[in-house]
Amino acid sequence: MHTRTMWLIGGLLLIMLAFVALIDMPVVYGQDRAVCEDGMPEPPMGCAEDSLTAIYILQFDGYITSTVYLDTYYHETMQALVDASLGQPAKSAILLVDRSGTTPDAIYKIQDGVQTNITAQWPEMTPEVDATDGVFLGNFVWWARTQFPATRTTLSVVGHGLYVAPEMGIVPPFFASPSALSEMVGTGTSAQGLSPLPLRIGGSPDWSDVNPEPSFFSIHAASEMARIGSGNGAYPLDVIDFSQCYGASFEQFYALRNYVHMLTGAPNYTFYAPELLGAGLAALAPRQSPPEMAEALIDAYHTTLPDDEHPHVLVAVETRHLTALKARFDHLASLLYQGLSDAERTNTYRQLMQAAYAASLHYDTTACPPQDWELCPPDALVDLATFLQQLQAHFGAHTPVGGAAEESIAALQAALHAKREQHGTPWFGDHAWDFSAGAGLSLYADLGAWSDASGQVVLNGIADWYTSTVSVENPHPYAFINPALASDGITWADVLHTFWADRVDSTELCIPAFPNTQQVGDVVAIAVADPLPGTSQLNTLITPTVVFSTAASIHNPTLLITITQHSAVVFSETIYLGYREAGTHTVTATHAWHPSRSGPFALTFTCGWPQSDCRAEQRG
């Protein structure tokens, strides 16, 4: 389906705004705090000195058919946090958990090795929540902070992510599974959804939340969450950590700049394993400064991930420098816009900008077939540092554009606190990824359109939302391209619009098609651990548990558990195993069987690949 050309840019703001002061003042992070977090209301019970509250939002509500069914890892994730908290009474973890299916969503407190369900303590909590609703999440964060105040507070959002995620205004009720994003918003061509959060060894498309309806966790929602959770910025959080793909973008970090001291995330794909959150909590300490906490988090994630086949880059950014960085980047954008708008310079500027784009480090967005898994044009995300460096190199260091690029580079260096990276070839691709040249902060700079089979010029589908124009499909445009926040009303969106004026036919947005498995070892079914013969009782909940062994590591295969009774299937669940090392493993179903009839039953489990010996049965 071909529709309107993108870049629907509104009229330029004609009111000139005064420059805000760009001088970064020294900052003291909470050294003047006596007991509770500076400025936060103290509850009746008071709060302990040198304490840490780590808030988590687990966006685990997904389709059971997904190969990245995060809810499968719920129990392991919670156990990792319980283990990390043991012997550390000064640390409290407060979790809002969005579960899949009919499992009620809940709130938990984990402290000193004890997990407690505290759902009933928050009046706004419901059995099914929208974990992409920024206002709801912000209210939860504020409640958690006032109920469990501490000298340090962090917030981690764990789930699936879409690059430069827009606030999408239309999600029809028939949208029951990942499919054409173009059908949802009425724009673009053959889009299929979002880019996923790969598991430790696997990955698959999915939404941030699928109940009550499929939705993405947008930049606007993240900003609203941080705004409300910080009391409109009066009480900034110490660290917000985005454990999602593409969480570290200039657009997203700028939108949250007033509500938190430090931001962490990944500009490309990130990987998830349950032990990551436990490692992160273990690395945090109440007496750390926000920059130290942010660096400790990304270092813990980096060292916990496998040493090969999982190339990644993680970054920690100090938000107090982002306003100055944005102002300098807006100045650069204004110069580029002026050159593109001048008929005598248009072609030259287009050529130089496209050359700078081509020479930059890219982050993968080309998921539409044929999928290449390369970090190169026409990927729509560039590393901000390398793009600025290439603009300076191609335009010339002593030109106005080159000088503005140099000023932006200096401001970016001030904002970057730490980076961790691992290079290599991802298990799902054939090309090596090297992040050493980049800073780890992405920018949407789709200057590399491609042509489809019919010769139509196609841009990445995010282009449809990269506009300051409010519409039904774009109810909350990115703050990053708000002309009211630019000194002369010119933003990066105006540059991209002018660059592609009358040259684009359509847009396209697709999801990566990750393989289900990388390899399969010699897997052998051993036994059914529960229910054992004679232990099942009428009207008693039974959670099936099975045991299997593997001679080599397995990469996200499936396991099917089935219970039959009186020749009828009374229970069935497909479980995605994620990554499993060689050895013996116990797997528990994510929901229980409720026997409602007396009589014999048979439980079988089989592996989701053609191996005749991967099967076991228990009768009772």
pLDDT score at 437: 95
Q: Name all contacts of 604-607 with Cβ < 8 Å and 24+ positions apart.
A: 604/561, 604/562, 604/564, 605/525, 605/528, 605/544, 605/546, 605/548, 605/559, 605/560, 605/561, 605/562, 606/525, 606/559, 606/560, 606/562, 607/523, 607/525, 607/548, 607/557, 607/558, 607/559, 607/560
505 and 559 share one domain: no
556 and 510 share one domain: no
pLDDT score at 523: 52
Q: Which residues of the chain have pLDDT under 70?
A: 1-48, 62-69, 169-215, 369-370, 505, 509-539, 552-557, 576-580, 590-591, 607-620
Phi first, then psi: what are they for 453, rounded to 5°? -60, -25
pLDDT score at 542: 76
The per-residue pLDDT for range 504-522, each reduced to its tens digit, is: 767 776 655 555 443 444 4
Task: Please say which residue of 482, 515, 548 terminates a domain.
Answer: 515
231 is in which domain, residue-wise? Answer: 1-12+51-515
Task: Please say which residue of 515, 541, 574 terminates a domain.
Answer: 515
User: pTM score, two decimals?
Assistant: 0.76
The per-residue pLDDT for range 267-304, each reduced to its tens digit, is: 998 888 888 999 999 999 999 999 999 999 999 999 99
pLDDT score at 484: 94
pLDDT score at 371: 73
State the distance between the two ends of the chain, measured CA to CA, in whole angstroms. 55
pLDDT score at 511: 55
278 and 207 share one domain: yes
For the chain, the domain total comes to 2
The per-residue pLDDT for range 559-591, each reduced to its tens digit, is: 778 888 777 888 777 776 665 677 888 877 766
282 and 367 share one domain: yes
Phi first, then psi: what are they for 524, rounded to 5°? -130, 125
- Determine contact, residues 60/205, Cβ cutoff 8 Å: no
pLDDT score at 74: 87
Q: Is residue 42 part of a domain?
A: no
Chain-centroid distance, C-alpha 255: 15
Residue 521 CB neighbour total at 10 angstroms: 17
487 and 543 share one domain: no
Q: Is 495 exposed, middle or buried (0-12, 13-18, 19+ CB in 10 A)?
A: buried
Q: Is residue 477 part of a domain?
A: yes
Task: Please say which residue of 515, 544, 571 terminates a domain.
Answer: 515
Give me the helices (H) in 382-516, please: 384-395, 400-415, 492-499
- The CATH number of the domain holding residue 601 is 2.60.40.10
